[in-house]
Amino acid sequence: MKLFSNKRLIISLISLIILIALMGVTLGNRGTVTWPEKMVQDTVAWVQGLIYKPAGYIAGFFEDIGNLSRLYEENKTLKRTLSHYARDTARLNVLMAENERLKEALRFTERQKLSDKLVYQIARVVAVNQDTSNNVFKIDLGERDGIKPDLPVVTTDGLIGRVIRVSEFSSNVLMLKDINDQSLNSRGISVTSLEHPDSFGVIEAYDHETGYLIMSKIKQEDPLQVGDTIVTSGLGEVYPAGLIIGTVVSRQEGSFGITHVAEIKPAADMSMSGLREVFVVQNAWDVAEP
């Protein structure tokens, strides 16, 4: 049995070449996407949102029924945390007032003052791609709402990814677990520890088998310890400082024995289930002066 006739063989070979070329061209950083792509993305994203959001409410209702038994325990913990919170707020107010006063005294410019502040824009998830190698979900904010590529996206627990493609009314978010030190497309995140602010490392990879992020380039004399909370350090200029990433699970020597490597348990849920709202984080100065 012949699978291809001559004419078909040529057509299939040409389309094969075109498709492979398309993949090569669109791989990596493309800047902005073209208008036909944007149109398809926005139109379908709107329809997907019509299904995804109500389905989420229904799923949430059943989840709530399941949670009823845990409510009592949770309430007790929350009350205890609330008392700590009130105490911390009082201290924070004093410190913030002092900080403002000192900045004023040192003649900080408006830009310097605003660049420490972060703006959290709430976005609703409209669709989720479940493909293992391409962990992308769509949100209902786009270029019109001031979204730009490479903005970090967080949940209430911690960093979950970054915006990768933007169209007019929707954008695609690439999840943190897609980070890969062999890929041309992904970027390392420079991080530090909340408990030891002198420590330095770079998150470059994700281990799918354990579900931990890999933090590398840690100096041997670095004060980082197991149990530390890992936050972005802001040195990489892509992610602003202070976004929570996870906690250190283990620390050992790297493969060359020169630097150390740590495993980080991500704070945000990386399984993509039950994603409803996320926050796009932006610098206050960038929002004020686009």
How far apart are alpha carbons 198 and 215 in whole angstroms?
Answer: 15
Under a CB-based contact definition with an 8 Å cutoff, are residues 170 and 141 in contact?
yes
For residues 178 and 222, which CB has a smaller minimum distance to another protein in the complex?
A: 178
Considering only residues 224-263, where is the footprint of another protein by CB under 8 A? none
Instruction: Note whether 1 binds another protein by CB under 8 A.
Output: yes
14 binds another protein (CB under 8 A): no
Pick 45 or 203: Cβ nearer another protein: 45
33 binds another protein (CB under 8 A): yes
- Which amino acid is located at 176 in the chain? L
- Residue 244's CB: how many other CB atoms inside 10 A? 18
Closer Cβ to another protein, 186 or 192, answer by number: 186
Query: Total binding residues for another protein by CB under 8 A?
Result: 60
Q: In the set 107, 184, 252, 290, which binds another protein (CB under 8 A)?
A: 184
**Piece of the chain touching another protein by CB under 8 A; list 71-79, 128-136, 215-223, 245-253:** 128-136
Among 9, 14, 40, 90, binds another protein (CB under 8 A): 40
Choose between 209 and 221: whose C-beta lies nearer to another protein.
209
Among 13, 47, 96, 226, binds another protein (CB under 8 A): 47
Distances (CA, A) of 155 to 51, 123, 125, 274: 22, 10, 11, 12
Q: According to the 3-state scheme, what is the secondary structure of the chain?
A: CCCCCHHHHHHHHHHHHHHHHHHHHHCCCCCCCCHHHHHHHHHHHHHHHHHHHHHHHHHHHHHHHHHHHHHHHHHHHHHHHHHHHHHHHHHHHHHHHHHHHHHHHCCCCHHHHHHCCEEEEEEEEEEECCCCCCCEEEECCCHHHCCCCCCEEECCCCEEEEEEEECCCCEEEEEHHHCCCCCCCCCCEEEEECCCCCCCEEEEEEECCCCEEEEEEECCCCCCCCCCEEEECCCCCCCCCCCEEEEEEEEEECCCCCCEEEEEEECCCCCCCCCCEEEEEEEHHHHHCC
Amino acid at 260: H
**Residue in 131, 221, 237, 289 binding another protein, rule: CB under 8 A:** 131
If binding is defined by CB under 8 A, does position 59 make contact with another protein? yes
Stretch that binds another protein, among 110-118, 147-155, 246-254, 270-278 (CB under 8 A): 270-278
Q: Does 2 bind another protein (CB under 8 A)?
A: yes
Residue 143 beta carbon to another protein: minimum distance, rounded to whole angstroms? 15
Q: Are 174 and 138 in contact (CB under 8 A)?
A: no
What is the closest distance, in whole angstroms, from the C-beta atom of residue 123 to another protein in the complex?
Answer: 16
List the one residue from 13, 19, 78, 194 that touches another protein (CB under 8 A): 19
Q: Which tokens in the block code for residue 108?
A: 């900080």
Q: Is 272 in the site for another protein (CB under 8 A)?
A: yes
Instruction: State which of positions 137-176 bind another protein (CB under 8 A).
Output: 138, 164-165, 172, 174
Residues of the shown chain interacting with another protein in the complex, contacts defined by CB under 8 A: 1-3, 5, 7, 12, 15-16, 19-20, 22-23, 26-28, 33, 37, 40-41, 44-45, 47-49, 51-52, 55-56, 58-59, 126-136, 138, 164-165, 172, 174, 178, 180, 182-185, 208-209, 211, 271-275
